[in-house]
Chains A and B, each alone.
Chain A
Amino acid sequence: MRYSALQILKNGLTGNRDWKPVWRDPAPREAYDVVIIGGGGHGLATAYYLAKTYGVQNIAVLEKGYLGGGNVGRNTTVVRANYLLDGNLEFYSQSLKMWAGLSQELNYNVMFSPRGCLLLAHDDGQFDALARRGNANLATGDDAVLMGPEEVRAFTPYLDFDNARFPIRGGLLQRTAGTARHDGVAWGYARGADLHGVDLVQNCEVTGFKIENGALTGVETTRGFIKTAKAGMAVAGRTSQLAAMAGMTLPIESHVLQAFVTEAVKPVIDTVISFGMGHFYISQSDKGGLVYGGDIDGYNSYAQRGNLPMVEHVAEAGMALMPMLGRARQLRSWGGIMDMSMDGAPIIDRTPVEGLFLNGGWCYGGFKATPASGAAFAHLLATGEPAGYAAKFRLDRFATGALLDDEGTGARPNRH
């Protein structure tokens, strides 16, 4: 069913009895042309573009839990394209362009809100680094506005500008960045994929690969063996385990990232703000909750929960940036498993196993990448060649040295 104002009117007048489930709940068939492992944002987007753009039929998405139950349902919803290095620049630029038209593309409201994203600088060196980053964004064709302290004060007057330790020296604003409704993105892609005939198979965990003469011939799952010569992995924090089933050891560590939300308050923060000194970022959800987060805890974890020192650190950073936060009551905190790659950039590539493809290593930046990641992975799966804007996300860059270390911190996932 195509959603429209007319449908709302019609169904409203007839007691809302005719709305159908948004997607089917099929049992897995014996064989598929392409199997996508992981029913999160990236997996669902991949299936959607594979079916729609490349006309591939007979696709399954295998999800071990429920659709959108992983990181796409537990992130802080920020969408931006203010990276620094070639490779990341063109990819996130492409992704941001896709976000702008995503609700129309999917005929589903993903509530993308380009409310701007402000990175703050607290000393001259940081300010110069932001100027360089802004120039890189402008040269890529993206938006970037370098602001002095007075301009930042006019834009976000409630920050602590004269903090003794971290006074605000300026900022870099990307007006086209913003937030989106994270669950809506997963649901929109799921519905779009289902409408194009993709089987979205839930409660179906992949337990092994069948590989003959170096080529994939099928996947073992908790709902039986599925024959396929082509599979794409899009399982975020569980990438290492899945790849290990195919005999691979990847340049990835899984870490926990915590996020927080306060009780709903009246509209107060109309943009996304990123503190330059504590890796603290904050925005306000449409429900009114202040949504914020900080660094990853810093050690390998699959627990989907963090420890208290990072809770304290994030609260301290928030108070240093925005003292009014101290009056809000924090409602909840939660953790997600981040597939931290060894250089901080993702991987969209073939693997040594013929027919098995990898999409992973998104660190804590996977949500904003969802549309372009899906489109690029679909391109790779359909054509065997990388999409132009994702051509540098190669698995062999750790051997060739063509790393994409945007933070410049070396092979230390907990520093990215």
Chain B
Amino acid sequence: MRITCPYCNTRDLREFTYLGAASLLQRPDDPAAMQDYIYSRENPAGENAELWQHTTGCRAWLHVVRNTATHEILSVRPAREVVEDTP
């Protein structure tokens, strides 16, 4: 598996660290919603929006859409951009 970092181009999986589902970008204000935010996961067999960090490269956090059934990478964007685009 290789990920195309928007800053560093296509790099080996070894350079990246996985955090988890991209839903972690939407931290709720409501304390009652925190349990789902921390623990519940859609865990799809197919397209999954995820957060990866280019740890041994530019260290940017990336929003990666990946197919969990095939490991195909469908899109990579800087996580910051995704947050800014979210209303």
A303 vs B17: C-alpha distance when bound (angstroms): 19
B40, CB-defined interface residue at 8 Å: yes
CB neighbors of B among A379-416 (8 A): 398-399, 411-414
B75, CB-defined interface residue at 8 Å: no
A300 vs B41: C-alpha distance when bound (angstroms): 11
Q: How far is the CB of B27 from chain A (nearest CB, A)?
A: 13
* Contact of A412 with B20 in the complex, beta carbons under 8 Å: yes
Most buried by B among A300, A303, A342, A399: A300
Residue from the list B14, B41, B66, B70 in contact with A309, Cβ < 8 A? B14
CB neighbors of A among B3-31 (8 A): 12-14, 17-21
Interface size on B, residues (CB 8 A): 26
Given known contacts A251-B40, A398-B35, A411-B38, A300 and B48 CB-to-CB distance under 8 angstroms: yes
* Contact of B50 with A299 in the complex, beta carbons under 8 Å: yes
User: What is the number of contacts between chain A and chain B, taking CB atoms within 8 Å?
Assistant: 68
B84, CB-defined interface residue at 8 Å: no
* Contact of B35 with A399 in the complex, beta carbons under 8 Å: yes
* Contact of B14 with A253 in the complex, beta carbons under 8 Å: no
* Contact of B1 with A254 in the complex, beta carbons under 8 Å: no
A241 vs B69: C-alpha distance when bound (angstroms): 13
Chain B positions within 8 Å of A303 at CB level: 68-71
A231 vs B21: C-alpha distance when bound (angstroms): 30
A240, CB-defined interface residue at 8 Å: yes
| Residues 233-250 of chain A, each 1 if its beta carbon lies under 8 Å from chain B, else 0 | 000001011001000011
A299 vs B40: C-alpha distance when bound (angstroms): 16
Which residue of chain A is the closest to B15 with respect to CB atoms?
A309
* Contact of B71 with A307 in the complex, beta carbons under 8 Å: yes
Query: Interface size for chain A: under 10, 10 to 19, 20 to 34, or 35 or more residues?
Result: 20 to 34
Most buried by B among A244, A303, A398: A303
A197 vs B13: C-alpha distance when bound (angstroms): 50
A54, CB-defined interface residue at 8 Å: no
Chain A positions within 8 Å of B39 at CB level: 251, 342, 398, 411
* Contact of B69 with A302 in the complex, beta carbons under 8 Å: yes
Chain B positions within 8 Å of A298 at CB level: 17-18
B81, CB-defined interface residue at 8 Å: no
Which residue of chain B is the closest to A341 with respect to CB atoms?
B39
Residue from the list A251, A301, A307, A414 in contact with B41, Cβ < 8 A? A251
B36, CB-defined interface residue at 8 Å: yes
Q: How far is the CB of A221 from chain B (nearest CB, A)?
A: 18
Chain B positions within 8 Å of A412 at CB level: 19-20
Chain A positions within 8 Å of B13 at CB level: 307, 309
Given known contacts A309-B14, A411-B38, A253 and B71 CB-to-CB distance under 8 angstroms: no
Q: How far is the CB of B16 from chain A (nearest CB, A)?
A: 9
A414 vs B40: C-alpha distance when bound (angstroms): 15
A51, CB-defined interface residue at 8 Å: no
* Contact of A254 with B18 in the complex, beta carbons under 8 Å: no
A30 vs B73: C-alpha distance when bound (angstroms): 43
A251 vs B36: C-alpha distance when bound (angstroms): 8
Given known contacts A249-B40, A303-B69, A254 and B50 CB-to-CB distance under 8 angstroms: no
A252, CB-defined interface residue at 8 Å: yes
* Contact of A253 with B50 in the complex, beta carbons under 8 Å: no
Give 21 CB contacts A-B under 8 Å: A240-B42, A249-B36, A249-B40, A250-B43, A251-B39, A253-B20, A253-B43, A254-B45, A254-B68, A298-B17, A299-B66, A300-B21, A301-B68, A302-B45, A303-B70, A303-B71, A307-B13, A398-B35, A398-B38, A412-B20, A414-B18
In the A-B complex, the 9 residue pairs with the closest CB atoms: A240-B43, A251-B39, A398-B39, A299-B18, A302-B45, A249-B40, A342-B39, A309-B14, A300-B68
